[in-house]
Amino acid sequence: MSTQYQMIVVDDEIDIAETLADYFEMQGFAVKIAVNGQELKKILPDFTPHIVLLDLNMPGEDGLTLTRYLREHTRAGIIMVTASAGQVDMVVGLEMGADDYVGKPFDLRALLARVRSVLRRTQNELPANTQPVQDARKKIGKCLLDVETRKLWEGETEIPLTAMEYDLLMVFLANPNRPLSRDYLLELAHKTDADPFDRSIDSRITRMRKKIEVDPDKPATIKTVRSVGYVYIPNV
C-alpha cells in the first residue's frame, strides 16, 4: 500500500492481538495494541488510526460502547472482530457506526481484503462511476452532507454516518431523479463482494431515512420505486 495506514487492534486476548499486529505490520501498517477501552483511549491522543479492529466481547467497556466512542472521536474505519455469531450484535454494531463485521476464527488474507475495502470507503474515495460533488456541503433531506469531512449535520448536531451510508448518499447525489436498482446501488457503494448483511440494501436505506428524512415513514428525499429500487429527489 502506498500510504502507511495506522491501525489499532483492540482485543483482550493478547495472543490474537499480537498475531493481528504482526501480520498487518508485515503488510505495511503501523499497528498499536489495546487490550481494553482504557488503553484504547490512552493511545488515541498521540496515534490517529485509519482503521480499528475491535473485539466485541471484552470486560469493562465492550465493543459496542467503544464503537460509539470511536465514531464520536475519530474518522477511523471500524471492523468488529468477534466470536459472537449473534445477528442482533451485528446489527447493533452496524447501527452504532461499525463499517464491517468479521467472525472468529478468520482467515488473515480475507481479513486483509476486508480492511482494504473499508479503507477504500473511508479514505475520501468516491464510489466508482460517480462524479465529484462541487459544493462542499449539500442539502439532503433535513440534513447537510459535508463531502470534504464526510460528516452529516442536522443543524449544529452531527449525525453518525457509516462509510457505506456516506457512499450511498454520494451515489444518490450524483444521480438525482434517476431510479437506481438495488444491485446497482450495492455495486457502486461497496467496492468488494457483498457480504450477507450487505445484500439487504433495504435495511441500509431504512436506517439512512431515519437520519435524513423529516418523516421517515413518508420519505420525500429517497423514495422507493416499486420493482426497481430507489430514487433520490433533491430538495426544492
Do the domain assignments include residue 127?
no
Which pLDDT score, from 0 to 100, does residue 92 have? 67
pLDDT in tens, 76-98: 889 988 776 555 556 666 667 78
Q: What is the DSSP letter of 195?
A: P
Which pLDDT score, from 0 to 100, does residue 2 have? 46
* Same domain (yes/no): 96, 170: no
Do the domain assignments include residue 72?
yes
Do the domain assignments include residue 149?
yes
The one-letter amino acid code at 160 reads P
CATH of the domain at 177: 1.10.10.10
- Cα 29 to Cα 3: distance, rounded to the nearest angstrom: 9
* Same domain (yes/no): 86, 142: no
Which pLDDT score, from 0 to 100, does residue 128 have? 41
pLDDT in tens, 155-194: 889 998 887 788 888 888 888 888 888 877 877 665 444 4
Residues of the chain with pLDDT under 50: 1-2, 125-134, 191-199
Which pLDDT score, from 0 to 100, does residue 190 have? 57
Which pLDDT score, from 0 to 100, does residue 226 have? 86
Which pLDDT score, from 0 to 100, does residue 132 have? 41
Judge if pTM exceeds 0.85: no
For the chain, what is the domain count? 2
Instruction: Choose the final residue of a domain: 93, 122, 151.
Output: 122
Which pLDDT score, from 0 to 100, does residue 142 have? 94
Q: Where are the beta strands (DSSP E) in the chain?
A: 6-10, 30-34, 51-55, 77-82, 100-103, 137-140, 143-146, 151-154, 157-159, 180-181, 222-225, 229-232
Instruction: Choose the final residue of a domain: 73, 90, 122.
Output: 122
Do the domain assignments include residue 214?
yes
Residue 205's closest CA among 155, 171, 157, 158? 171
- Cα 235 to Cα 136: distance, rounded to the nearest angstrom: 16
- What are the grid coordinates assigned to 20, written together? 493481528
Q: Angle of helix 87-96 relative to helix 63-73, nearest 10 degrees?
A: 20
DSSP class per residue in 114-164: HHHHHHHHHTTPPPTT-PPPSSSEEEETTEEEETTTTEEEETTEEEP--HH
Which pLDDT score, from 0 to 100, does residue 82 have? 78
Range of the domain at 84: 6-122
Tally the C-alpha atoms within 13 A of residue 66's C-alpha that lie toward its C-beta: 31
Cis peptide bond prior to 196, omega within 30° of 0 = no
